[in-house]
Structure 1
Amino acid sequence: MRKTWLSVLAMVLIVSLVLMGCSQRSGGSSEPTSNAGSNASAGNDGTENADTGGDTAASGEKIRLTVYSTIGELKNQDMMKSIAADFTKENPNIQVEFQFPGAEYENILKVKMAANDLPDVFDTHGWAVIRYGNYLADLKDEPWAGNLTDTIKPVVTDKDGKVEALVLSEAKDGISYNAEILEQYGIQPPTTFEELMAAAEKIKTDSNGQITPFFMSGIDNGMIGGFLDLYATSMYISPASNQGDQLLDGSFDWKNWTPLAQKLLDMQKKGYINKDVLTAKYTDMPQRFAQGKVAFVYGAPSFADEVYKVNPKAKIGIMPLTTMVDGDTPTFSGGERYTMGAWKDGKHLEESKKLIAFFAKPENMSKIANATKLPPGLKDIPSQHEFSEYYEKFKDIRVFPYFDRVYLPNGMWDVMCKTGTALVAGQTSPEQFSDKMKQEYERLRKQ
């Protein structure tokens, strides 16, 4: 009996010691046990730590920041992660978790906005003020904010002076061109649309049709939509006498769209666009460009590395978009390409700002510029890549936001791409294109 009693007593003592140990460890683990919610750190008891900074760090737990980005190239994703790793070395209590959703990025962010549950830091991909402004913290007092370039500052600053995001890379879309072809045929980069068409005729004729002046894809119809979007700015927005106000207030006469649609159709009829435009894919273009079969591509040279895989000696140039109206000057379209904004309701807002400030360091901005081959959104950032000289040469060229993002209701981009493709397919006329734009513009403005 005594032996049994001693056994029971020993068991009680063991259980008591175990419970005491559990009580002492509660909340003291160095890692959270819950992944639910990217903007709060959870303790072992499953509760969320609402406070940021000192309290969480003092308990030994690591703060986890989620960052969503639109960067698609694997090498550039790795570059971003390497900068974040350097940040964590300096701030060992903060973990940075990147997400690169790709084509689903926009839809995912819309869902998160509806739930008011956004990532701590996210890429505004051209919509910093218009779409995300109400969800972003004001960064105007950050040390880097005063160094935003003159071309990008208005794009990410609202009417009250609120700075919505750090612009890692500026988008400056004009025309990419095969420099060897232009040299071969003695053509200087055109500045007017008439000069561009004259260059296209010379290239097509003198090469006996072996070189296609312009490459477009009806499969990836954003290339056709891109042409229309770029030149809509040149026709209706950038000239001194423009129709921007009418597009914004709904009084724009959509018959004015017909001449732009006609120019696209004329380019096809004259043989300036690849004959297989309806079946060609965007991925077909880099190889043709590398082989000297394509002279011009609308947009930025984001395809450059794919060209170099085929022809390491290829020479790619960039130039502003040509004018469409007499008396106007060339322009770029763009603004934000890659950015970092901070969710204003994030539980780790100060840490988010700290991370963004780290990416804004000159050495990190240079690393991003050299990797993406795009101009940085901050002044006096050195970069050395094959397009640096072009961005320096054209640094004073006006940059307008993408036409559809400012002057068309949400949903019109798809209309423009699909109807533009129908135009080159012979399924609709320029006049019918204008009617379709008017119809959809009025319908979507009411939603």
Structure 2
Amino acid sequence: MKKFLKTVAVAAALTTIVAGCSKASGGNEANSDLTVVNLYSTVTNEADKITLQNVVKKFEKENPDIDIKENYPADGYEGMLRVKMAANDMPDLFDTHGWAIHRYGEYVEDLKDMDWVKDLDPALEQILKDESGKVYAYPLNQAKDGLTYNATLLEEYGIEPPTTFDEFVTALETIKKKGKGEVTPLWFAGSDKSAFGQYFDQFSTPLLITGEQNYQKELLDGTFDWSNYTFLAEKLKEMHEKKLLNEDILTAQNHQMVDLMAQNKIGFIVGGGMLGPSVEEVNPEVKLGVIPMPVIEDGDEPSWIGGERHTLAVWKDSKVKDEAKKFLEFISQPEMVKEIAEGTSLPSGLTNTESKNYYSEYYEKYADVKVEPYFDRVYLPSGMWDPMGATGQELLSGTMTPEEVSKKMEVEYKRLLEQKK
């Protein structure tokens, strides 16, 4: 997660982050009868944060002897957890943000014997469960990322949601023409390199994985020819030159996104699945939709890009493992699963309840569409997210060519693979 979720509504989240625990008072710490369980989460979106806090309050009310200390470090999360891993001093409960097995695997308690495991959504098994049956984390919700679009605007302009990359570009060109300069066809908060990382990561799946000509083997064994990646940089540059992207792309910030979409000034966003409820609060007349990723190769089928969104793993050396697991048991109850899913506007990670959220009609419409895991989490070594996003910024600033983008990715890919040996 380090994904788009990590970048949406950052300004709003930063105003609420507290250096230590999120509780307003530290009085509980003086009560020796309380068992303190430290919880670290990658949540930044304010609505998601409130949802998690409300669930914690309900748990603490039922279990007055346990104090869940929440921490929301935002962009500092990953660096903080790396330090804690090095010191073998992990939080009792922590978000694995897409790296449950490959990064945090040796630090987590096996949860396979917990009751909720029987209800784990099969779509998450390859991400949270290994061949031996070990279960690495509890899924608070799951991601189904694709393209978020202004459904009100597309209906007004007579544009059908695209299913292919060519249709996508055509839709952008139509928005540019009919919007008469007032609407940005495809908007990026490009001051944050993660916005470009999201573009490259999500479109890498239809380009390199799901088509008849796929490169799964080569990506996994280190022999991938990175010239096959150049297409994405070429298309991004081409869209920029055709003025299909926002003019302020390299300075635009995430906090602008909601207001611009609510003003009907944005057509599409890559990812952005959580945007709908925030836009609705500002302008209920604007409706958003989501679609799976358009295909690039003829004969391919659209796919969602996803897996875990937010999770909670239990540190295997925690001194309060029983209390941490008790919290997981509490939130795995159907009513809690439903509350979290609806509060975060995402599908639940368990199958023991039905929930409705802002995008439910779209998830139901595309229920048969396969969910592919995030490209970088499966096919790239840890650390590739940063150059993936940074090369997008350099490309559009004119300091890199599309070919140089691929070369840079190749260099970083090989360097990081070598580090793993």
| TM-score, normalised relative to structure 1 | 0.83
- For residue 292 of structure 1, report the CA deviation from its aligned partner: 1.1
- Is the 2:276–2:287 Cα contact (8 Å) retained in structure 1? no
The match for 1:57 is none
Hey, what's the Cα distance between the residues in 2 that align with 1:195 and 1:94?
54
Q: How does 1:192-341 map to 2 (within 5 A)?
A: 192-341=164-313
The match for 2:334 is 362
- Is the 2:184–2:244 Cα contact (8 Å) retained in structure 1? yes
Offset from partner CA, 1:292-316 (integer Å, 9 cap, x none): 1111000033233442343232101
Q: How does 1:181-192 map to 2 (within 5 A)?
A: 181-192=153-164
Offset from partner CA, 1:303-346 (integer Å, 9 cap, x none): 33442343232101111111111111111212111111111111
The match for 1:180 is 152
The match for 2:137 is 165
The match for 1:122 is 94
- For residue 206 of structure 1, report the CA deviation from its aligned partner: 2.6
Offset from partner CA, 1:21-54 (integer Å, 9 cap, x none): xxxxxxxxxxxxxx9xxxxxxxxxxxxxxxxxxx
Q: Does 1:66 align with 2:38?
A: yes
Hey, what's the Cα distance between the residues in 2 that align with 1:399 and 1:244?
16
Hey, what's the Cα distance between the residues in 2 that align with 1:331 and 1:238?
8
- Is the 1:135–1:343 Cα contact (8 Å) retained in structure 2? yes
For these two proteins, the number of residue pairs brought into alignment is 390
The match for 2:105 is 133
Structure with the larger RCO, 1 or 2 (CA within 8 Å, 6+ apart):
2
Hey, what's the Cα distance between the residues in 2 that align with 1:157 and 1:105?
23
Partner SS for 1:98: strand
Offset from partner CA, 1:139-189 (integer Å, 9 cap, x none): 112111111112112211112111111111101110000001110122221
Runs of 4+ with deviation above 6 angstroms: none
Comparing 270-279 with 168-177, greater Cα deviation is found at 270-279
Segments of 5+ residues of structure 2 without an aligned counterpart are 1-19, 21-31
Distance 1:261 1:295, change over 3 A: same
- Is the 1:172–1:300 Cα contact (8 Å) retained in structure 2? no
- For residue 92 of structure 1, report the CA deviation from its aligned partner: 2.8
The structure with the larger Rg is: 1
Given candidates 367, 379, 383, the residue that maps to 1:395 is 367
One-letter code aligned to 2:44: G
One-letter code aligned to 1:400: E
- Is the 1:221–1:421 Cα contact (8 Å) retained in structure 2? yes
Hey, what's the Cα distance between the residues in 2 that align with 1:364 and 1:125?
21
Distance 1:205 1:375, change over 3 A: same
Partner SS for 1:446: helix
Hey, what's the Cα distance between the residues in 2 that align with 1:378 and 1:299?
22
Q: Does 1:442 align with 2:407?
A: no
- Is the 2:37–2:67 Cα contact (8 Å) retained in structure 1? yes
Hey, what's the Cα distance between the residues in 2 that align with 1:279 and 1:87?
42
Given candidates 75, 79, 84, the residue that maps to 2:51 is 79
Distance 1:254 1:80, change over 3 A: same
The match for 1:348 is 320
- Is the 2:184–2:266 Cα contact (8 Å) retained in structure 1? yes
Hey, what's the Cα distance between the residues in 1 that align with 2:168 and 2:350?
32
Hey, what's the Cα distance between the residues in 2 that align with 1:222 and 1:144?
33
Partner SS for 2:309: strand
- For residue 429 of structure 1, report the CA deviation from its aligned partner: 1.1
- Is the 2:307–2:372 Cα contact (8 Å) retained in structure 1? yes
Hey, what's the Cα distance between the residues in 2 that align with 1:194 and 1:380?
39
Distance 1:129 1:240, change over 3 A: farther
One-letter code aligned to 1:425: S
- Is the 2:150–2:268 Cα contact (8 Å) retained in structure 1? yes
- For residue 262 of structure 1, report the CA deviation from its aligned partner: 0.8
Q: CA RMSD in A?
A: 1.9
One-letter code aligned to 1:415: P
The match for 1:419 is 391
| TM-score, normalised relative to structure 2 | 0.88
- For residue 217 of structure 1, report the CA deviation from its aligned partner: 2.9
Hey, what's the Cα distance between the residues in 1 that align with 2:261 and 2:70?
33
- For residue 238 of structure 1, report the CA deviation from its aligned partner: 1.8
One-letter code aligned to 1:446: E
Offset from partner CA, 1:89-111 (integer Å, 9 cap, x none): 33232222211111111111111
Hey, what's the Cα distance between the residues in 2 that align with 1:261 and 1:79?
38
The match for 1:407 is 379
Distance 1:143 1:278, change over 3 A: same
- Is the 2:51–2:344 Cα contact (8 Å) retained in structure 1? no
Distance 1:296 1:74, change over 3 A: closer
Comparing 306-315 with 254-263, greater Cα deviation is found at 306-315
